[in-house]
Structure 1
Amino acid sequence: MLAASLGRVDLHGWIALGTLAAAAALFLSRRLPLALVALAIPVVLFATGTLRDPADALAGFRSPALVALGAVFVLGAGLQGSGVTTLVARALGRRGRGAPGRLVLLVCLAAAALSAVMPNAAVVAVLLPAVLAVARRAGVAPALLLLPLSFAAILGGATTLIGTAPNLLLAESLREAGGGELGMFAFLPAALPAALLGIGFLALAAPRVLARREGDPESEAGATDPQRLVQQYGLSGKLTRLRIGRNSRLLGKSLVEAGLGRRYGVSVMAVEHAGGGPRWRAPEPDYRLQWGDDLYLEGDEEAVWRLAEEQEARIGLTTAGHADRVLDHGIVLAEAMVAPRSPAVGRTLDELEFRRRFGLSVLALGRGGRPLQEHLGSVPLAVGDTLLVAGQRRALDELRRDADFILLTDPAAEAHDLGKAPLGLLFLLVAVLPPVFGWAPFAISALAGAIGMAATGCVPLADSGRLVEWRVLALIAGTMPLGLALERHGVAAAAAAAVARLAAAGPGPALAGLYLLAALLTSVTSNAAAAVVLAPVALGAAGASGLDPGTAALAVALGCSCAFLVPFSNQCHLLVLGRGGYRPRDFLVLGLPVSLLAGAVVVGVLAHF
């Protein structure tokens, strides 16, 4: 059926199809940044003559959907900066007690509600500290709540036009094709029942599937936060004490000049000063080592001995109590996560000058549930990586205020101007209401709302550009010409004809085919890329089978939000993957039923539209 249709595809159509396959393989392998692969697509299509007009090859950069999505990122940051999301997180923390199923339900409902009006990954990042606090207070493993948090953010994002990129992209494609408008809440009749059913399933199944994971409080019962962090990151709880003598080569050097982390892979947790002034000092980068100082180091034992030998310093005896002794003198342990939009992604701690910038020592790095403790300065950071840091409280305040990292310790202390919460809600309404009443297209109203957020300080003007997910926008701009090429050279028509044949048995099979295509392509590329590529397929299938174009577009858009089966199919999953200690099997066991339930509800509702 599909093979016969593909027989009418011309040479350039096969080039476009090959480009799609190559891009999908590179997306799946993650060997190159997704945005880089996407931006190469217009170049390939133009160079091969598949799209001869440069305006067509660069069509993605002039799309109103791109403007709207960029504005949505700023709106989401404004809700966070104005304190709206903080109020939700605090309410969640106050009510976070009870049976495990009730906890999962509360977390999922909060995440789904916020995801309807702000980007999914931002919702997970905002709620993550509060959810960890709820888990500690309730005495349950964080893994019980974090994967449901990620799933619920994706389910909730599908309910409105602004909740996720595929909804915006399909709505814009439908409008440009003259197929009508998808309003702000056009997705709600199908997406809301699917979200509620998925959340209900998670509340029942997650306590059984995720009841016992690594990091379960059974091994941490009664542990304080520092003790919990020491256990979680596999640190010994003992520190090596290094004494600076009269002949030490470290004498008179600052900690930055000494470069102990770069040269030996060890971290300085604290300095016990022998001279005048405060006895205990945080490892500030400009502190100069003096005779009699004791450095408390965390790192490989052989590396510490090599350090002592080469720098002519003396190793002293330590006990497990030394860690508590250090923490009792103003040095605190904390955990931070690399934020989803952080420029730190792909860069090392040395390149970021982390110690000089924050005055904090990184003792360990967590990735994918595994701690790394050696040569941390040379490891490129990834989204969702966690850092175990040590330093003074004022240094942690600096880290908390930095948008590149999410401080997971003491979430209630996060500083937000809650007095701006009414302004945040006002400008959200400025973005949402005009398209609902037909006063203005969403790209214009969203831009107006984002400008209002920035002008009133809900989002600092200096940070406005940095809060936009440029990688996502590049991914969309790069893949849009691919959708155009597939449509122009017959590939989209061939796929649409195959889907249209399913409509002979009724609208249900055709809609199920579109939904399944979107879900599969999302799993191997990204939801935005899948939406761009399949938009012409949906509209072509509607024209060939008599389906309503809006209904076909909804099936693809909601299928693109079916990203539950593999850890790397959505950025939300990356934020919780390491912190929850999840395995790929966990995503499959919970994600497959959620995918089937959501798909059945969506197709069933749309078939009776």
Structure 2
Amino acid sequence: MSTDVWMVTFILVATIIAFVVDRFRMDLVAFVSLLALVLTGILTPAEATAGFSNSLVLMIAGLFVVGGAILETGVADQVGRGLGRIGGKSTVRLTATVMLACALLSAFISSTGTVAVMLPVVLSLSRRAEISPSKLLIPLAFAAALGGMLTLIGTPSNIVVSQELRHAGMEPFHFFSFAPAGLVMLCVGVGFMCTIGTRLLPDRAKEDDNVAQASHEQRYVSRPDLLHSYGVEGQISEVTIPVGSVLAGRTLREIGLRTTFQVNVIAVLTRRSDGDIVRKCNADTLLRPGDTLFIKSSNQGAVERLITEGYVELVSTAPSLPKDVYLAELIVPPRSELVGRTVREIDFFRQYGAMVVAMHDGKEPISTRTSDTPLNPGNTLLIATNTSTLERLWKSRRDVLLISTQDEQHGPTLTPAAGWVVAILLGMLMVMSTGVVANVTAVLVAALLTVVVGAFRGSTAYQSIHWDSIVMIASVMPLATALEKTGVLGMVTDAIVESPHLANPTLLLLLLFSVTSLLSQAISNTATSVLLAPLALEVAHRLDVSPYPLLMGVALAASTSFSTPMASPINALVTGAGSYRFGDFLKVGIPLQLLVLAVTLWIVPLLFPFTP
């Protein structure tokens, strides 16, 4: 074998290993592999940068904008909540309702965005029905993956295999080409999770006494429940600043309550003749005589020291927070820029307008040095804030997700542009299903129109694009070109074609599905499909069989990221909220993957015969 063959094979293996280890960002790994292909002379600069101008990448970026408009205007929230209301209180009925609602949304917007919308809805439903969230959140994640099988835009993997056909000069998959097989898979997935799956899922509410359950009729979480679940009961005190106190006339920064006395201020209440007001609580907040401080400390000795040395008066060690201060829960999603940083480094209050009261790692509260603990995906934060900040946090789905509040009135509302966005979405789907113009044109026009009608403010449209995914996809695509250019793809194809067993189309479909499904447990499903779609197409050509069933098998397999928490961002997103362990995904995910494999071997050849 030539040096180029060895080099591109090494780069491919190293890239996959780096993806699996997951120590570095996937977009960074993909970009480094791209640079390696250029520096070794395997690809020219033009070949290496071709992915960034590819219509596939442009279409995916446009779909992020359209999906972001659906989220930003509150349309997705209203759909999720409306469908969630019919779930009732039966575990099976709730599971079916949640999965069908999630799959419906996931067919048209990103699976991560869908789970971000549905996560607080499902948590609220589980509390109202007195069912552990661990019974519903894995079905939610799996439904988002299954919903991606329904349409061309359900997941980038579907677009990848369709574009592969187009580049080969063949008729690509149409908008609803995936729907027949996808509907069967969805029915299989829902049926499995409502019967066998629900028995395999853990019931963390029964295993953990710290999991707070709300009352039978409650939809949102009460203050006592939130304080209890984060282990901060008895850690909040109310003190007043009398005239003559050393705290009066100084800012929180000057006093250094956190560093000097090891206490955190949650709220500052100023009493006035026209009524009490809750002032913003940051480092520059000036304390005045008569102010009331609501402080949190896990060390009772620290509070006593503040009373003694700060000359403040203790009012209560079990206070009721002011009515204008609201408690809520945030979860840190996998792609968040906050991952690996501490609350102190982020300057959380200045950035989000909320005070972090406590943290939870999904298994137990983080009781010590909350401000200096690095955040991990799935960590939840208990915050104290006001109504305007809550409204903003409902719409913030990039770095933090608001999953519950203490009061139902703070749910998101539809914006004036919501109706226009729905009309734009329906128009885009109609144009894509009829093929009047190229799919990429329809998507880019729809993305532009969402901005024109005011679905976004300022640069929010750009923020809705997952640029890490765009860079990763554009960087991986030239790797497939390198495999073909150096002959590696041909060598693998020769090995498959010359095997007497793999010459059977059904066995070939089994192989492609298995490899794709296995790789999708460790690396991006889009990257997997980018690498395997050309192989499927070349093998089909060499064996003189139709490429459609093989490419459909690759697309379906790429959406079976069920068996590990790191298989996809949606799995990682529900892991902390559901208090799941690694084995929970294995126990439920492997049987479902095998079931989907069996159904694929039956349904795909019926819908797309192997005969050209």
The match for 2:473 among 443, 453, 476 is 476
- Deviation of 1:487 (Å): 1.9
The match for 1:587 among 585, 588, 596 is 585
Aligned 8 A contact 2:266 2:384 in 1? yes
The match for 1:530 among 521, 528, 531 is 528
Indicate the larger mover: 482-491 or 217-226: 217-226
Q: Which string of whole-angstrom CA distances, capped at 9 and with x for unpartnered residues, describes residues 291-338 of structure 1? A: 45453322331783697399745684854x32xx225x4322111234
The match for 1:125 among 112, 116, 124 is 116
Within 2, Cα distance between the matches of 1:260 and 1:463?
Answer: 36
Structure 2: gaps of 5 or more residues: 216-220
| Residue aligning to 1:267 | 264
SS in 1 for 2:554: helix
Q: How does 1:124-273 map to 2 (within 5 A)?
A: 124-210=115-201, 212-214=203-205, 220-222=212-214, 225-241=222-238, 244=241, 250-256=247-253, 258=255, 260-261=257-258, 266-273=263-270
- Deviation of 1:189 (Å): 2.5
Aligned 8 A contact 1:269 1:282 in 2? no
Aligned 8 A contact 1:496 1:540 in 2? yes
- Deviation of 1:352 (Å): 3.8
Say yes or no: does 1:444 pair with 2:441. Answer: yes
Aligned 8 A contact 2:330 2:402 in 1? yes
Q: Kindly provide the amino acid, as one letter, of the partner of residue 336 in structure 1.
A: L
- Deviation of 1:151 (Å): 0.5
Say yes or no: does 1:326 pair with 2:313. Answer: no
Q: How does 1:356-375 map to 2 (within 5 A)?
A: 356-375=350-369
Q: Kindly provide the amino acid, as one letter, of the partner of residue 393 in structure 1.
A: T
| Residue aligning to 2:35 | 43
Q: Which string of whole-angstrom CA distances, capped at 9 and with x for unpartnered residues, describes residues 469-501 of structure 1? A: 101111111111111112222222233334443
| Residue aligning to 1:22 | 14
Q: Kindly provide the amino acid, as one letter, of the partner of residue 356 in structure 1.
A: R
SS in 2 for 1:336: strand
- Deviation of 1:384 (Å): 3.9
Q: Kindly provide the amino acid, as one letter, of the partner of residue 586 in structure 1.
A: D
Aligned 8 A contact 1:523 1:569 in 2? yes
Change (3 A) 1:505 1:542: closer
Aligned 8 A contact 1:244 1:290 in 2? yes
Q: Kindly provide the amino acid, as one letter, of the partner of residue 362 in structure 1.
A: V
The match for 1:406 among 398, 401, 419 is 401
Change (3 A) 1:221 1:461: closer
| Residue aligning to 1:65 | 56
Q: Which string of whole-angstrom CA distances, capped at 9 and with x for unpartnered residues, describes residues 502-521 of structure 1? A: 66563211011111111112
Say yes or no: does 1:565 pair with 2:582. Answer: no
Indicate the larger mover: 365-374 or 450-459: 365-374
- Deviation of 1:348 (Å): 4.1
| Residue aligning to 1:4 | none
Q: Which string of whole-angstrom CA distances, capped at 9 and with x for unpartnered residues, describes residues 15-73 of structure 1? A: 2222222222222222211111111111111112222x111122211111000001111
- Deviation of 1:254 (Å): 2.7
SS in 1 for 2:136: helix
| Residue aligning to 1:5 | none
Within 2, Cα distance between the matches of 1:454 and 1:311?
Answer: 56
Within 2, Cα distance between the matches of 1:598 and 1:571?
Answer: 21
Q: Kindly provide the amino acid, as one letter, of the partner of residue 466 in structure 2.
A: E
Within 1, Cα distance between the matches of 2:409 and 2:264?
Answer: 28
Aligned 8 A contact 2:307 2:314 in 1? no
Indicate the larger mover: 597-606 or 62-71: 597-606
Within 2, Cα distance between the matches of 1:444 and 1:386?
Answer: 40
SS in 1 for 2:232: coil
SS in 1 for 2:529: helix
Q: How does 1:412-423 map to 2 (within 5 A)?
A: 413-417=410-414, 420-423=417-420
TM-score (norm 2): 0.89
Aligned 8 A contact 1:115 1:156 in 2? yes
Change (3 A) 1:512 1:581: same
The match for 2:513 among 506, 512, 515 is 515
Within 1, Cα distance between the matches of 2:461 and 2:234?
Answer: 42
Q: Kindly provide the amino acid, as one letter, of the partner of residue 122 in structure 1.
A: G
Change (3 A) 1:221 1:416: closer
- Deviation of 1:121 (Å): 0.4
- Deviation of 1:270 (Å): 2.7
Q: How does 1:492-511 map to 2 (within 5 A)?
A: 492-500=489-497, 501=499, 504=502, 506-511=504-509
Within 2, Cα distance between the matches of 1:445 and 1:318?
Answer: 62
Within 2, Cα distance between the matches of 1:420 and 1:317?
Answer: 48
Q: Kindly provide the amino acid, as one letter, of the partner of residue 433 in structure 1.
A: M
Structure 1: gaps of 5 or more residues: 1-8
Q: Kindly provide the amino acid, as one letter, of the partner of residue 572 in structure 1.
A: I
Tell me how large the CA RMSD over aligned residues is: 2.9
Aligned 8 A contact 2:239 2:312 in 1? yes
| Residue aligning to 1:3 | none
Q: Which string of whole-angstrom CA distances, capped at 9 and with x for unpartnered residues, describes residues 409-436 of structure 1? A: 2566333336544422321233223343
Indicate the larger mover: 372-381 or 454-463: 372-381
Change (3 A) 1:310 1:598: farther
Indicate the larger mover: 246-255 or 37-46: 246-255
- Deviation of 1:589 (Å): 0.9
The alignment of Structure 1 onto Structure 2 pairs a total of residues equal to 596
Within 2, Cα distance between the matches of 1:194 and 1:516?
Answer: 16
- Residue identity (%): 32
Q: How does 1:107-122 map to 2 (within 5 A)?
A: 107-122=98-113
Within 2, Cα distance between the matches of 1:20 and 1:215?
Answer: 46
Aligned 8 A contact 1:502 1:509 in 2? no
Aligned 8 A contact 1:262 1:375 in 2? no
Within 2, Cα distance between the matches of 1:511 and 1:538?
Answer: 9
Change (3 A) 1:16 1:247: farther
Indicate the larger mover: 107-116 or 334-343: 334-343
Change (3 A) 1:380 1:74: farther
Q: Kindly provide the amino acid, as one letter, of the partner of residue 529 in structure 2.
A: A
Within 2, Cα distance between the matches of 1:534 and 1:295?
Answer: 61
Q: Which string of whole-angstrom CA distances, capped at 9 and with x for unpartnered residues, describes residues 539-593 of structure 1? A: 1211222221222221112111110111011111122111110011111111111
| Residue aligning to 1:391 | 385
Q: Kindly provide the amino acid, as one letter, of the partner of residue 22 in structure 1.
A: A
Change (3 A) 1:375 1:568: same
TM-score (norm 1): 0.89
Within 2, Cα distance between the matches of 1:217 and 1:282?
Answer: 37
Change (3 A) 1:517 1:84: same
Aligned 8 A contact 2:149 2:178 in 1? yes
Q: Kindly provide the amino acid, as one letter, of the partner of residue 212 in structure 2.
A: E
SS in 2 for 1:569: coil
Aligned 8 A contact 1:475 1:528 in 2? no
- Deviation of 1:380 (Å): 4.6
Q: Kindly provide the amino acid, as one letter, of the partner of residue 20 in structure 1.
A: L
Q: Which string of whole-angstrom CA distances, capped at 9 and with x for unpartnered residues, describes residues 364-412 of structure 1? A: 2233444334444444545543221013334433433545433222566
SS in 2 for 1:101: helix
| Residue aligning to 2:218 | none
Within 1, Cα distance between the matches of 2:168 and 2:2?
Answer: 23
Within 1, Cα distance between the matches of 2:542 and 2:265?
Answer: 68
Within 1, Cα distance between the matches of 2:36 and 2:120?
Answer: 43
Within 1, Cα distance between the matches of 2:501 and 2:424?
Answer: 43
- Deviation of 1:197 (Å): 0.2
| Residue aligning to 2:4 | 12
Aligned 8 A contact 2:329 2:380 in 1? yes
Indicate the larger mover: 119-128 or 554-563: 554-563
Indicate the larger mover: 275-284 or 483-492: 275-284
